[in-house]
Each structure stands twice: as structure tokens, then as C-alpha cells.
Amino acid sequence: MEGSLRGKVWRSMVEKRREGRLHFTLIDPDKTSPSEAERIARIAREAGSDFILVGGSLGVSPEATDSVVEAAKRQGMPTIIFPGALNNVSRRADAALFLTIINSDDPYYHGIAQVQGAMIVLYHGLEPIPTCYVIVGYGGTAGFMIRARPIPYDKPELVAAHALACSMMGSKIVYLEAGSGAPKPVPPEAIEMSRNMIAMAGLETLIIVGGGVRSEETARMLARSGADGLVTGTIAEESPELLASIIRAFKES
């Protein structure tokens, strides 16, 4: 059994959060070769990103996931599986986001996927990080494939109610997802209301946000509305310079 079940990655997330906000670089093994993944991991590390997420919604093979995880780890980045499906769960990673997909209409994602995934995570010796996934607005390929009922952009109170439920159900992370390439990110009001409701309940769940972040201005807005972490995917492939300035803007706001 490789890896560790002792909570190292989660602890480092909490410790890093005490020092500042967190940035996650998402690499999709279907779109990225291992050499490209290593290049992105190097750019991400140099730009101040904290963790690599590996996963995708379509066309991701176990072999491609293994190679991308190995390549990212060569750059010394803690690497976490963000599974679009069970075939994304690589034993080479350090941890896996163990997902509850709270607004999927598909019963498969409300128990069956988790029961199947739990054994694989255990056998691979991966650290499970209980994470609740909330699809907002556009939703992208992820939203379509998991049959999400995306929460409309103009219903921040509905996003907050989902985030609160996730937090009360014991998730360590609430992941608010607008979808890769979303025309608009998760609205700041939704993050702020989620943050406030979770605090009112006396809980300490981390809120991470992703999808459609392409500017420093957006990163700043998301930070100010109370996001603990930001996930970016597309931007690392397009412009390392922009990635660095987005990370800086998010962490320094």
C-alpha cells in the first residue's frame, strides 16, 4: 500500500491557510501530456501555487492519470486527485478529494460512486479529503456529465444553503464550481453568504472556488468575498505570467 492515510495533505492545507489563501492548479490528464504536466507544475510552483489537482470529466484513462501525477510530483508539488470518475483515482497521488456531489440528480452520485470509490482510495493508500461539490451557473462538462442541476447565478442564497448543508454534513471543503471555461465565475455574493452561514453555524469548512477565472480582478473579488482557496485550470496552459499575477492577486487581497 502506497501513500498515507494520516492526514498530511489536509493538515498542510490548514497550516498554509493560517498563513494565507490557497491556490490549486488543476491539470486534466486528457488534455495534458506528462511533459506538459511537468511544465505546468513547475510554472505553478514558481508562481506560488500550493497544490496540484489532477482530474477530468471525459476521456481520462488510469494510465494518463498516473503519468500526469508522476510528472507533477517530480516538481515536488503535493498532488491531489480530483476525480471526474473512478478511473481517475491514481495510487501515485498523495490524496484524493472524496466527493459528495450535492446537486447532482443522478442517484449514482449519492452513495454508489462513494461506496465504490472508498475501497479504491483505501487500497491505494490515498488520504481522503471529504469534499462537497456544488455546481453553480454554467457547470461546463463536469456539470453535464454528473447530471448536475446547476444553481442559477442570481440565487446566492441557494448556493449558501447548499454550502451550509455540505458543511453540516461534515465536509472539510466546500468546492463551489462554475465549470471549466465558465463565462462567469461563482458570484461573490454566493461566496460571502456561504462564508457567513457556515460561520454562524460555528463550523470551519474551507471554501474553494473554481471555474472561469482569467483575471487578477476576478481573483481579488473572489478573495474579498471570503474564498479560502482558488482553483484555476485553463490559465496555466495559456499564460504562466497571468497565472502568477492571478495567484498573487488572490493571495494578497
Three cell numbers, residue 130: 471529504
Single residue of 177, 186, 197, 219 touching ligand 1GP by CB under 6 A: 177
Window of 55-63, 83-91, 191-199, 206-214 that interacts with ligand 1GP by CB under 6 A: 206-214
Q: Does 136 bind ligand 1GP (CB under 6 A)?
A: no
For ligand 1GP (CB under 6 A), the number of binding residues is 15
Rank residues 171 and 232 by Cβ distance to ligand 1GP and give the closer one: 232
Rank residues 182 and 247 by Cβ distance to ligand 1GP and give the closer one: 182
Cβ atoms of residues 97 and 61 within 8 Å: no
Single residue of 55, 143, 211, 229 touching ligand 1GP by CB under 6 A: 211
Q: Does 113 bind ligand 1GP (CB under 6 A)?
A: no
| Terminal-to-terminal C-alpha distance of the chain | 41
**Angstrom distance (rounded) from CA 211 to CA 30:** 18
| C-beta neighbour count of 169 within 10 angstroms | 12
Rank residues 152 and 181 by Cβ distance to ligand 1GP and give the closer one: 181
Single residue of 9, 13, 26, 60 touching ligand 1GP by CB under 6 A: 26
Q: Does 233 bind ligand 1GP (CB under 6 A)?
A: yes
Q: Does 232 bind ligand 1GP (CB under 6 A)?
A: yes
Site for ligand 1GP in 81-110 (CB under 6 A): none
Crossing angle, helix 188-200 and helix 216-224, to 10 degrees?
20
**Angstrom distance (rounded) from CA 194 to CA 190:** 6
**Angstrom distance (rounded) from CA 48 to CA 246:** 10
Q: Does 54 bind ligand 1GP (CB under 6 A)?
A: no
Single residue of 234, 239, 245, 253 touching ligand 1GP by CB under 6 A: 234
**Angstrom distance (rounded) from CA 14 to CA 115:** 27
Quick one: which H or E segment has residue 168? Answer: helix 156-168
Quick one: which H or E segment has residue 52? Answer: strand 51-54
Q: Following DSSP, what letter does each residue of 229-243 receive, concatenated?
A: EEEE-HHHHH-HHHH
Residues constituting the chain: 253
Q: Give the residue at shortest CB distance from ligand 1GP.
A: 210
CB of residue 6 to ligand 1GP, shortest distance in Å: 27
Q: Does 56 bind ligand 1GP (CB under 6 A)?
A: no
Rank residues 10 and 175 by Cβ distance to ligand 1GP and give the closer one: 175
Quick one: which H or E segment has residue 54? Answer: strand 51-54
Binding footprint of ligand 1GP on the chain (CB under 6 A):
26, 177, 179-182, 210-213, 231-235
